[in-house]
Homo-oligomer: A and B are copies of this chain.
Amino acid sequence: MHVVSRRRLDGGVLEREFLLGDVPGILWTPVDASETSPVPLVMLGQPGGLGMHRMRPALEGRARSASAHGLAAVAIELPGNGGRPTLPGAESVRAELRRVLSAGERPGPELVDRLILPLVERAVPEWQATLDACFALPELDGRAVYSGGVIAIGVRLAVVEPRILAACLFAGSYIPRATMSEATAVTMPLHVLLQWDDDGNDRDASLALFDAFASAEKTLHANMGGHTGVPAFAGEEVARFFDRHLAQAAD
């Protein structure tokens, strides 16, 4: 992890921009986190297509909220997003998606697979390398929770990454067929957010995915407000979900 800048935010948060290989990222830690009082880490997932620069205010808000709960937070640029190299074939897949959407249709399963799976294949090992690098720092305690972003990435991470204790998934993006099968291998505590009136989202697919998870504790919170209108109280419930499971893991 190569730290390229650091600054201190109001509210006692240290922000470090870093590069991990060619992947840009940002790490936020409570300034009082240290080797003697290390903290857990929230992995901040992002939607595809916007890039970390445009998501920055939202990410910073989520990082401050994590810090208020005594947690560090980290975000990395998704493959093909921001200034990162375009994924092979991405242009033609996106052109096809635009055609389908402008015809008022939903993308079929093959298109969804071609759109999302290449992102999952690259993003998951990058997230794992990010955990390796973060957990080498003395102010982090080796425990992670995952929150939001492209749901297929969250599901894959929940299956393959034992350092993640609990995950909050946002059921608002396309679900590849592989994700639906992988869901049956997820056993960690899950908190799933669904925007009920998100017209661009396939609600039935989201409910089927929630049903498929094998977790003994899984909770679905469905709210109104459209795709980007997750109510503030729903965010507070996510924070309490993480608090509860990190406290249980500390017992």
**Chain A interfacial positions (CB closer than 8 Å to B):** 196, 207, 210-211, 215-224, 231, 233-234, 237, 240-241, 244
Write 7 A-B pairs (CB below 8 A) sorted by A numbering.
A196-B210, A196-B218, A196-B220, A207-B207, A210-B222, A215-B224, A233-B241
Interface of A is mostly: mixed
> In the complex where A207-B207, A211-B196 touch, is A224 in contact with B233 (Cβ < 8 A)?
no
Taking a contact as CB atoms closer than 8 A, the residue among B211, B220, B233 that contacts A220 in the complex is: B220
4 A-B pairs with least C-beta separation: A220-B222, A219-B223, A221-B221, A218-B224
**Shortest CB–CB separation between residue A192 and chain B, in angstroms?**
9
Q: How far is the CA of A221 from the CA of B196 in the complex (A)?
A: 12
Query: Which B residues are in CB contact (< 8 Å) with A218?
Result: 196, 223-224
Query: Quick one: given A217-B224, A219-B221, A219-B222, are A244 and B240 in contact (CB under 8 Å)?
Result: no
Q: Which residue of B lies closest to A217 (CB)?
A: B224
Find the B residue at minimum CB distance from A223.
B219
Q: How far is the CB of A123 from chain B (nearest CB, A)?
A: 28
The complex places the Cα of A97 from the Cα of B217 at a distance, in Å, of 32
User: What residues of chain B lie closer than 8 Å to A211, measured between beta carbons?
Assistant: 196
Q: Given that A233-B240, A233-B244, A244-B233 are known contacts, is A216 also in contact with B224, CB under 8 Å in the complex?
A: yes
A219 contacts which chain B residues (CB < 8 A)?
221-224, 231, 234
**CB-nearest residue of chain B to A216:** B224
User: Which residues on the B side are within 8 Å of A244 (C-beta)?
Assistant: 233
A224 to chain B, nearest CB (A): 6
